Chain A
Amino acid sequence: MRAREARPRAAPRYVSEPKKPSLLSDTDFTPVLSRSALRYRKMRDRVIELLLLAAGLIAVFTTLAIVAILLIESSAFFKHVSIVEFLTDTMWTPLFADAHYGILPLVAGTLTTTVVALLVAVPIGTLIAIYLSEFAPTKVRETVKPILELLGAVPTVVYGYFALTMVTPALQRLIPDLPGFNMLSAGLVIGLMIVPYVSSLSEDAMRSVPRYMREGSYAMGATRLQTALHVVVPGAFSGLAAAFILGISRAVGETMVVAIAAGMQPNFTFDPREPAATITAYIVQVSLGDLPHGSIGYQSIFAAGLVLMLMTLVFNVIGYSLTRRFREAY
Chain B
Amino acid sequence: MLDSSTLARAQSAGQSREEQPLANEQSTSAVADDEARAAGPRISISVDETRKSRTLKVKAAVENLNFYYGQHRALKNLSIPIADKQVTALIGPSGCGKSTFLRCFNRMHDLQPGTRYEGSITLYPDNLNLVGPGIDPIEVRMRIGMVFQKPNPFPKSIFENVAYGLRLRGVRNRATLAEEVEKALRGAALWDEVKDRLQDSALALSGGQMQRLCIARALATKPEILLFDEPTSALDPIATAKIEELISTLRDQVTVLIVTHNMQQAARVSDYTAFMYLGEIIEFDEAAKIFTNPSKKATEDYITGRYG
Contact = CB atoms under 8 A, between A and B. Distances in A.
Do A and B contact each other directly (Cβ–Cβ < 8 Å)? Answer: yes
Given A17-B27, A31-B166, 9 more contacts: A16-B224, A17-B23, A23-B253, A24-B183, A24-B186, A29-B176, A31-B142, A31-B171, A38-B138
B157 to A, nearest CB: 19
A15 interface: yes
B222 A31 contact: yes
A9 interface: yes
Nearest to B136: A38
Interface of B: 23-24, 27, 33, 125-126, 128, 136, 138-139, 142-143, 165-166, 169-172, 176, 179-180, 183-184, 186-187, 219, 221-224, 253-254
A308 B273 CA distance: 69
Contacts of A16: 125-126, 128, 143, 224
B45 to A, nearest CB: 21
A30 B142 CA distance: 12
A123 B31 CA distance: 88
A49 to B, nearest CB: 14
Interface string A6-34: 01010000011101101111010111110
Contacts of A327: none
Contact of A33 (B143, B183, B186): B143
A324 interface: no
Contacts of B171: 31-32
A4 B166 CA distance: 13
Given A17-B27, A17-B126, A24 B136 contact: no
Given A23-B254, A31-B166, A5 B24 contact: no
A316 B96 CA distance: 46
A128 interface: no
Contacts of B176: 29
Interface residues of A, number: 24
Contacts of B222: 20, 22-24, 30-31
Interface string A228-267: 0000000000000000000000000000000000000000
Do most interface residues of chain B lie in helix, strand or loop, or is the interface mixed?
Answer: helix
A275 to B, nearest CB: 58
Contacts of B223: 23
B183 A15 contact: no
23 contacts: A15-B143, A16-B125, A16-B126, A16-B224, A17-B23, A17-B24, A17-B126, A19-B125, A23-B219, A23-B222, A24-B186, A27-B179, A29-B179, A31-B171, A31-B221, A31-B222, A33-B169, A35-B139, A37-B169, A37-B170, A38-B136, A38-B139, A42-B136
Nearest 8 pairs of A and B residues by beta carbon: A23-B253, A17-B27, A32-B169, A23-B222, A24-B187, A31-B169, A16-B126, A31-B221
B105 to A, nearest CB: 15
A27 B169 contact: no
B106 to A, nearest CB: 14
B213 to A, nearest CB: 15
Contacts of A42: 136, 138
Contacts of A41: 138
B158 to A, nearest CB: 18
A90 B224 CA distance: 81
A24 B184 contact: yes
Q: Which of A7, A31, A42 gathers most chain B CB within 10 Å?
A: A31
Contacts of A29: 176, 179-180
B169 A19 contact: no
B140 to A, nearest CB: 10
A25 B252 CA distance: 11
Contacts of A23: 219, 222-223, 253-254
A19 B207 CA distance: 36
B240 to A, nearest CB: 23
Nearest to B222: A23
A20 B142 CA distance: 14
A43 to B, nearest CB: 12
